Structure 1
């Protein structure tokens, strides 16, 4: 009986030692389909799937999702609410605010394009000059069209932009003729049209790109996990199915891996 108790204690001590040796990595995420989506209060998308696979890949770090918003994400990071953020770009307010954060090489490419009703925009030349047209965008996002300004009052007055909280809402504003055009990520547009094929012929997609961006991984430089290690893990996961298939399905491009010499 005593040997059983001792064996049990050894197992428990080993378990707790392993648990205490696991370092937490809190990953910030805000609604940004198809990377983060909220459905009935639950998060899903590429970031959620990536966190799951990172936890399966290794045992030294435990990754957890921490939800934030596009507007609050910088402040939440500076207040220590999360350690890292995926599918992000340092130029999205991080550099401008002089925030201390390490970033990986770019690993994926996406674009933001304009959409309009095909009954209004019969040719691509319609998108050449948008100065007299109303535009829908997402609150807290950085757009080249608006000189990367995020203040809602400035955007509304200077750029005739209507800001909404939901990507699908911006498309529906176009469909309901409540705005002339909307800026939509190419990946989300792929997702939307796959789910709403009846609207595909109603929408014309611009060849004009508001901005092309290269997704990176960002992490607090004081965290135990080095950005180089995180990048290697993520890239290994993204090369494997089903991630590679999903990337192609959403029109995303996996960029060549950057290896250290």
Structure 2
């Protein structure tokens, strides 16, 4: 027969074990869509945790235990269907102008800004005036992206017919097309170009970068109405990362600006 003291000790140990297990059981799974969008997400289907989105998700998971954020690979064209069908709960680094207006969602301002800029091959007779008029120029564009100069129309045929556009799934390829003279202008995100020039220092001497901006990316998170996390709760988590310096640490190296939330 067990003594009262031994029985009480066992009960205490069992209670402690339950307390240790409960936090992980209570964490609600939040599935985050990960589409190839460098430098934010780099080929998520390969399983490699590269890009800014994996860094942000890791910081979110380390900061709290109520939610477990998990990346779910998707693609630029497929992400809308995955969101509507509930395969993902959240799309991050998005903007409602990029095809989301008819899809129910809660919008969370991330307080982050990037920009889309024009890049051409540097030549003696070219200066910033080269970017003022796109008429007759061959463009190298990222397939599926919504550009302001095209009124956010991402239809490949429209872009090819109207802007002589070559569409690829790689900013590297678009820059190479320009350097080889097969296109006149490529559009790339400022964050991506910053990273590209760090990796290819000599190429910078061959490129003319526009002061003209096609659009400023003000980034938002879009949350499904049935998601396990609310917009308010996610906003508070982002604010916590901003307060502890994690947001600056992740995004500043890529020249992605932290701006006041709700500045619009």
| Structures share fold, TM-score greater than 0.5 | yes
Structure 1 residue 50 corresponds to structure 2 residue 50: no
The structure 2 residue matched to 1:251, chosen from 243, 251, 255, is 255
C-alpha distance in structure 2 between counterparts of 1:229 and 1:206, whole Å: 39
For residues 43-67 of structure 1, give each alpha carbon's deviation from its aligned partner in whole angstroms, at most 9, with x where no partner exists: 3111111111111111111100011
| Pair 54,228 (structure 1): closer, same or farther in 2 beyond 3 Å | same
Pairwise CA distance, 1:9: 5.7
Counterpart residue number, 2:36: 31
For residues 229-255 of structure 1, give each alpha carbon's deviation from its aligned partner in whole angstroms, at most 9, with x where no partner exists: 211211331454454144332221101
User: Which stretch has the larger CA shift, 247-256 or 78-87?
Assistant: 247-256
User: Which residues of 2 match residues 57-76 of structure 1 at below 5 A?
Assistant: 57-76=63-82
Counterpart residue number, 1:213: 217
Structure 1: unaligned runs, 5 residues or longer: none
- SS for the counterpart of 1:104 is strand
Pairwise CA distance, 1:8: 7.0
Counterpart residue number, 2:137: 133
| Pair 212,257 (structure 1): closer, same or farther in 2 beyond 3 Å | closer
Confirm or deny: 8 A CA contact 2:56 2:250 kept in the other structure. Answer: no
Pairwise CA distance, 1:154: 2.1
User: Which residues of 2 match residues 1-261 of structure 1 at below 5 A?
Assistant: 10=15, 13-14=18-19, 17-38=22-43, 41-95=47-101, 98-119=102-123, 122-241=126-245, 243-258=247-262
Pairwise CA distance, 1:219: 0.7
* TM-score in terms of structure 2 length: 0.88
For residues 97-131 of structure 1, give each alpha carbon's deviation from its aligned partner in whole angstroms, at most 9, with x where no partner exists: x1010011251111100000012762101111111
Pairwise CA distance, 1:228: 1.6
For residues 139-192 of structure 1, give each alpha carbon's deviation from its aligned partner in whole angstroms, at most 9, with x where no partner exists: 111011222112212221222111101121111111121111101000100010
- SS for the counterpart of 1:222 is coil
| Pair 16,249 (structure 1): closer, same or farther in 2 beyond 3 Å | closer
Structure 2: unaligned runs, 5 residues or longer: none
Equivalences, count: 257
C-alpha distance in structure 1 between counterparts of 2:36 and 2:250, whole Å: 19
Pair member with larger Rg: 2
Confirm or deny: 8 A CA contact 2:121 2:206 kept in the other structure. Answer: yes
